[in-house]
Amino acid sequence: MIISAVAVAFALLLGTFIFLVLPRGHLWQRATSATLFLVLIAVVYGGSIELLSRPKPLRLELWQQGDKAKVLAATMKEGEAIYVWLQFPGADEPRFYALPWDMKMAQQLQNAMQEGQAKGTDVNMSKPFEAGLDDREPKFYAAPQQALPEKAYVQVSPVVPDRTGSPD
């Protein structure tokens, strides 16, 4: 939705530039400007739609959404990139990112995914938008298991049968 709004705003700005700045004289010049405007709108719209299916490099994210994200899916292409689908708290839709290839980070992700699968928990990514110069804290980790709910102990009085022999 944001990409469509950006594409429309860019197209309007482009149209304003073409109609106000470019020559206003002859009919062929105005026709060329209008044709150029229509072609550029198609390119902007087509380009924005194409971007929707491509992973975004994490370093290019403008609106950083938090210090922690849930890893919904991940795949790695050795020597090229680590591709992750991240769900940020409070966000409605997941985001697709490409992280630069790093053997240590790839191993952390693989271990966290295996541990999460074994424990039945999610895999999280801490501080996704930081460069990661501090290697003491892992970027990827399996979420801890949820604590079991506390038991509610109710004091029940024992049922004692009546031994007096009198019928009720």
Residue by residue, DSSP assigns 41-61 as HHHHHHHHHHHTTSPEEGGG-
DSSP-assigned letter for residue 166:
-
Give 91-128 pLDDT, tens digit per residue.
888 888 888 898 988 998 999 999 888 888 888 888 77
Output helix, strand, coil percentages for the chain, rounded to the nearest 5.
Answer: 40, 20, 40
**pLDDT reported for residue 4:** 64
Burial 134-159 (b: 16+ CB within 10 A, else e): eeeebbbbbbeeeeeeeeeeeeeeee
* Alpha-carbon Rg for the chain in angstroms: 30
Q: Quote the CA–CA distance of 5 and 108 in Å, as a whole number.
A: 37
pTM, entire model:
0.59
Q: Quote the CA–CA distance of 7 and 44 in Å, as a whole number.
A: 6
* Mean per-residue pLDDT, 130-146: 69
CA-CA-CA-CA torsion sign (85, 75, 77, 105) = positive
The label of the residue with tokens 């980070």 reads 105
Q: Which residues pair with 27 in a beta bridge?
A: none
- Over pLDDT 90: what percentage of the chain? 10
Give 57-79 pLDDT, tens digit per residue.
777 676 667 778 888 999 999 99
